[in-house]
Amino acid sequence: MLRRSARGRARARLPIAAVAMTLLATVSGCGLLGGDDSSGSDASGTGAVEKAKIKVGVLPVVDAAPFYRAVEQGYFKAEGVEVEPVVMASGPAGISGVLNGDLDIAFTTYPAVLQAQSTKVADFKIVADALAAKPGHLVVVAPPNSALKTPQDIPGKRIALTARRSISDLAPSSVLKTLGVPHESIQWVEMPFPNMITAMQNGEVDGAVLAEPWVTTAQKQLGAVPVFDCATGPTAEIPMSGYTAVSGNGKFATTSPNTLAAFQRGLSRAQAEATDRTKMEPMFVKYAKVDEQTAKLVTMSTYSTSLVPTRIQRVANLMKDFGVIQGDLDVSTMIPNAGTAGK
């Protein structure tokens, strides 16, 4: 059974509130990663699980649809571990949960956890890859009859996005830079996805960076028109989200490698089924709260069955290029040795 985390459960083992505020600036809140499909993890991790029941912080988004299917179909239980989903309000809330021990694993967008790793908030491990954006998943759109029609029209325009210093502005800025279009003068306006359609309709913004299912929803409700795709060229198949845990003395990723591997196997089984829309659409409807008609139209992106550092490294490099993180961040150090994510 799903349950929501209680507000008052955060404990003061670390300055969690401060961490969460820092992370909030990095999370894209995406709806809801590409490269070599070989496994980035080589230890078997097939022994008895160290922890029979774990809590996983997750968001009600299309990115996590295979996770919800794995729970419903008993794929985690088949690996010897009971997974309790804990619905979180945001990616930063999930990261705070793994930091203070309320959660064992958390779903998050990559910029949030990569920035936290770069500033040495803790030693984070990427447990599993979730989703890579295909064309149509992350798009800059504008209302019909708008003056914003092409990428060349965007300088100086007011563009809604979920958060700065996230995939929501990094991906479009990268595409614009490649096209030779200045992006520095864009007036970014932060707001939740549900508010963007109304904001465009009322003329409060000229366009918005939307992720599925909001791309499809905006097209249905507003007649929104795509201006350019954010998952093309330098950001084609850009990794969007994954699952993270914390390692170190007494931390889950260190004390429970077999449990972590069992989670990876159960999730990978469901993600391998994610090419079948008939298995994912019910998850969109039930957990991401998408109506059935929209669920049939949502662009299906790539749900990865492997954990490959070079794919996620693209996000870290993008963050460095645009000054979100300082210096080099080697994502391969964040991949745990225990696991069979590629099997």
| Domain-embedded: residue 286 | yes
For 204-230, b where at least 16 C-beta lie within 10 A, e where not — what string? ebbbbbbbbbbbbbbbeebebbbbbbb
Q: Return the DSSP state at 241.
A: E
Q: Are residues 117 and 148 in the same domain?
A: no
Question: Distance between the two ends of the chain, CA-based, in angstroms?
Answer: 28
- pLDDT value of position 128: 97
- pLDDT value of position 22: 41
Instruction: Provide the angle, in degrees to the nearest 10, between the axes of the packed helices 91-100 and 110-118.
Output: 50
Question: What sign does the CA torsion over 185, 186, 189, 190 have?
Answer: negative
Distance set, CA 211 to CA 4, 39, 44, 122, 295 (Å):
24, 27, 35, 29, 14
Q: How many domains does the chain have?
A: 2
- Distance between CA atoms of 198 and 153, rounded to whole angstroms? 21
Please say whether the beta carbons of 95 and 23 come within 8 A.
yes
- pLDDT value of position 45: 57
**Of 216, 235, 254, at which residue does a domain stop?**
235
Please say whether the beta carbons of 237 and 132 come within 8 A.
yes
| Domain-embedded: residue 343 | no
At 45, the amino acid letter reads: G
3-state secondary structure of 338: strand
- pLDDT value of position 60: 87
Pairing of β 53-58 and β 105-109? parallel
Give percent helix, percent strand, percent coil of the chain, each to the nearest 5: 40, 20, 40
| Domain-embedded: residue 99 | yes
Q: Are residues 155 and 201 in the same domain?
A: yes
- pLDDT value of position 46: 63
Q: Are residues 257 and 115 in the same domain?
A: yes
- Give me 73's structure tokens: 């179909």
Q: Are residues 23 and 128 in the same domain?
A: yes
**Residue 180's CATH number:** 3.40.190.10
Query: In terms of pTM, does the model score above 0.95?
Result: no
Q: How deeply is 255 buried, as exposed, middle or buried, from its count of CB atoms within 10 A (0-12, 13-18, 19+)?
A: middle
Phi and psi at 109, nearest 5°, equal -75, 150
- Distance between CA atoms of 161 and 86, rounded to whole angstroms? 26
Please say whether the beta carbons of 175 and 233 come within 8 A.
yes
**Of 176, 203, 235, at which residue does a domain stop?**
235
Q: Are residues 205 and 241 in the same domain?
A: no
Q: Are residues 120 and 257 in the same domain?
A: yes
Q: Within 73-192, where are the H helices?
A: 75-78, 91-100, 110-118, 167-179
- Give me 39's structure tokens: 């496994």
State which residues form the domain around 147: 138-235
Would you write out the chain's pLDDT as a tens digit for each of its 343 residues?
Answer: 454 444 444 433 344 334 444 444 343 334 333 333 333 333 445 679 999 999 999 998 999 999 999 999 999 999 999 999 999 888 888 999 999 999 999 999 999 999 999 999 999 999 999 999 999 999 999 999 899 999 999 999 999 999 899 999 999 999 999 999 999 999 999 999 989 999 999 999 999 999 999 999 999 999 999 999 999 999 999 999 999 999 999 999 999 999 999 999 999 999 999 999 999 999 999 999 999 999 999 999 999 989 999 999 999 999 999 999 999 999 999 998 633 333 3
